[in-house]
Amino acid sequence: MAWRRRKRPLAVLADRYALYQAAVQNPELEVELFEQFYREAYGRRARPLTLREDFCGTAYLCATWAVSHPRRRAVGVDRDPEPLAWGEIHNLATAGPSVLRRVRLIQGDVRTVRTDPTHIVCALNFSYCALRRRRDLLDYFRNARAAVAARGLFVLDVLGGTATLDVAEDVRDIDGHPAIYIWEQTRFDVLSHHLEAHIHFEFLDGSKLERAFSYDWRLWTLPELTDLLQEAGFSEVRFYNEVFEEGDDPEYLSPTGEYRRVTEMENQESWVVYGVALP
Ligand SMILES: C[S@@+](CC[C@H](N)C(=O)[O-])C[C@H]1O[C@@H](n2cnc3c(N)ncnc32)[C@H](O)[C@@H]1O
């Protein structure tokens, strides 16, 4: 009797961390932005060498940082051992022994972890929004402040815009994967700015990885973050917004990947701004 292999749904075969990295992370761009923010804070020739990536998950950024220069070192902090172990195999070990030696992963809480001062401390993909109480975010910012070197920076990204303050859905292709990425905001409370959102992946064969990642956030505003960062001891807070230009379709402006410092900004449907705090 001929044996025929039953096709398994793509969703069963998929790796949610690989999909997440491909869908929402761009660590090469972030390394370039850190260099730009650092030059603009400390002079044209200043180069950051050390990084602490808080809420590091799979430590994709730590690995990219270490790959970007042989003298660069990174430490990644996350409380969940699962993404750390995944990242150690898929991001660090695959980058080779030199990268593996120059990146240290710590399983711990970003509010209490102690590390040597680094040129950059960062909290990306809005992960600090998981700290929903003001005092928890302030504890975290104080701890981050203690870890920023004298000539260092704390960098965080901020999500906002009219569409983020509501239930909503955003769908995109994922380069190099037979899947689409779906960001679904299922609940937003105006009183508390509590946002519940999920990432789903849907595959070419119709199978789905529902709620591959779920978030229970407080959507902090830029002025709240500025106040908290200053209260935590940072002397100055700068914001960088992406430059958009006219593309083929006159109805829409296209993102350029270039970020400029702003002191005023019009609201849009959705935006991501980088906050840069100086010690
Ligand atoms: C959305 S992932 C961020 C992954 C990656 N940094 C990025 O930019 O996409 C958020 C991570 O924060 C971690 N996390 C949440 N609260 C934490 C805390 N208090 N201390 C350390 N890690 C925390 C979770 O375990 C999770 O891996």
* CA-closest residue to ligand 1 atom 11: 55
With the most atoms of ligand 1 within 8 angstroms of its CB, the residue from 78, 136, 198, 211 to mutate is 78
Q: Tell me what pLDDT residue 249 has.
A: 81
Q: Residues 233-250: pLDDT tens digits?
A: 999 999 999 999 988 887
Q: Tell me what pLDDT residue 3 has.
A: 65
CB 161 within 8 Å of CB 265: no
| CA–centroid distance, residue 8 to ligand 1 (Å) | 31
Tokens of 160: 């906002």
Q: Tell me what pLDDT residue 7 has.
A: 82
Q: Tell me what pLDDT residue 91 has.
A: 98
Ordered alpha helix ranges (H), 187-250: 222-231
Q: Tell me what pLDDT residue 251 has.
A: 79
Tokens of 201: 């992946």
Q: Tell me what pLDDT residue 14 has.
A: 92
Q: Tell me what pLDDT residue 125 has.
A: 98
Q: Residues 128-158: pLDDT tens digits?
A: 999 999 999 999 999 999 999 999 999 999 9
Q: Is the CB of 26 under 6 A from ligand 1?
A: no
Q: Is the CB of 109 under 6 A from ligand 1?
A: yes
Tokens of 59: 């430590």
Q: Count, in order, helices (H) and strands (E) of the chain.
A: 8, 12
| CA–centroid distance, residue 248 to ligand 1 (Å) | 37
Query: pLDDT below 70 — which residues of the chain?
Result: 1-5
**Which atom of ligand 1 is found nearest the CA of 83?**
27
Cβ-proximal residues to 43 (8 Å cutoff; 6+ apart), any chain? none
**CA 94 → CA 57, 64, 105, 178, distances in Å?**
17, 12, 15, 23
Give every strand in the sheet of 103-107, ordered side by side: 103-107, 73-78, 50-54, 118-123, 148-160, 271-278, 236-246, 253-262
